[in-house]
Chains A and B, each alone.
Chain A
């Protein structure tokens, strides 16, 4: 009986629409928010991972997006779609996180150059060291590395526009709202992103295609 009741409850929870869950949450039923979190976490994680490029930051973005979503739920317009709304919050937070990362990387780079001579005896330099492995020399892994670098080299706006348009299939208006930009400027940003990616990756993609054609790659 209990098991049956649980099954009915879970079916009801899944069927509950986002709008009802939002209304219940606003009325003080905190557990109603759980339905929204469980329903949308995977999608937000996918966006966050593609924007930030690493799992650790992506998980932080997901948590922060739902926390901020809860805090701002009073501002959520009932006619909107909760999934799109929380997606937008996540994209904005991911942009902040990417900016922070870029500053961090820039500082690390300056420090690395400044301290290059003294680093050999520094125990921290040993733990940070990432020696290339033989596998990295294979073409597929090299291409993957190049793709990650090319994505990382895009500006936050370009990466956001590309991820949201190409991978997530978001509309230009939606992306423009996240970037706080006009539709035309957003289309331009998508174009610039693809153009930069193409410039960086086309030689590698063509080399791999040639290797495949000659049967040199398994």
Chain B
């Protein structure tokens, strides 16, 4: 008796077999193929036990709350999405970064032809380092404020965190751009921390405007447990050091030139 191939049995199990009736008939008569099918099914059954998180009954509303401010008045034109203020601001910052890098590259080229000057790439990276440093600084300040937020008295039932929430929403857009740029530049360490920061920013942005002291404490514990403030500080420090290391040396050359001109 010719047995079924693994491919035929998998196709049968996944409901995509062409000769389903023929395979069924064969399985009824062949114990070896039935056992082989059972082994395939055991693996698939194990995979079915993988947990799937429940996003919660309010998830649809949360998604709407998150995307509604980013929708254009009328659907249908992709470019309209780029006209919404937050995307414009983030895109503007990015364009300024690229233009800045380009101009800085040109200026440094004109000024020091033939000398050991920073390449265009280095200048571009320096500007990126400054922009990301600023972004991390803003994120750190927002997270510190949120970590230190507390109800004004024991009777206060809710704490308003809408200001931090809005800042988190704005920082999210910038964060995505910087994370993608870091990835493109092959800076996996920076991309990894930006990725973790993005998760925290998402959490904050998803929180309600007003939270109970217990909810606030839960958010603060989450921030603390992820150690994101520490990570942001370490990376920011690293970026500062990188920036300092790449700062051009003090203008010794100018004085030498001047000396030379005197002679």
Q: Residues on A close to B: CB < 8 A?
A: 25-26, 28, 30, 33-34, 37-42, 45-46, 49-50, 55-56, 59-60, 62-63, 66-67, 70-75, 100, 103-104, 107-108, 111, 123-124, 127-128, 143-144, 147-148, 151, 165-167, 172, 187, 190-191, 194-195, 197-198, 201-202, 204-206, 208-209
Contact = CB atoms under 8 A, between A and B. Distances in A.
Contact of B63 (A41, A127, A187, A198): A41
B115 to A, nearest CB: 31
A195 B78 CA distance: 40
Nearest to A30: B71
Nearest to B13: A194
Given A59-B202, A123-B234, A38 B64 contact: yes
27 contacts: A30-B73, A33-B75, A34-B64, A38-B64, A41-B59, A41-B63, A50-B52, A59-B55, A63-B67, A70-B72, A70-B75, A71-B76, A74-B75, A75-B76, A104-B192, A108-B192, A124-B193, A124-B238, A127-B227, A190-B11, A194-B14, A195-B10, A197-B43, A198-B40, A201-B46, A202-B43, A206-B42
Classify the interface of chain A: helix, strand, loop or mixed: helix
Contacts of B180: 100
A67 B75 contact: no
A42 B192 contact: no
B50 interface: yes
A60 B74 CA distance: 22
Nearest to A188: B7
B77 A37 contact: no
A149 B103 CA distance: 46
Interface stretch (B152-160, B183-191, B248-256): B183-191
B67 A37 contact: yes
Interface residues of B, number: 57
A107 B191 CA distance: 10
A63 B192 contact: no
Interface of B: 6-7, 10-11, 13-16, 39-40, 42-44, 46-48, 50, 52-53, 55, 59-61, 63-64, 66-68, 70-78, 80-81, 180, 183, 186, 188-189, 191-193, 195, 198-199, 202, 227, 230-231, 234-235, 238
Contacts of A56: 195, 198-199, 202
B60 A38 contact: yes
A190 B55 contact: no
Given A67-B81, A104-B188, A201-B46, 7 more contacts: A34-B64, A34-B68, A70-B71, A165-B14, A191-B7, A205-B46, A206-B42
Contacts of A55: 53
B75 A191 contact: no
B231 A71 contact: no
A111 B180 CA distance: 18
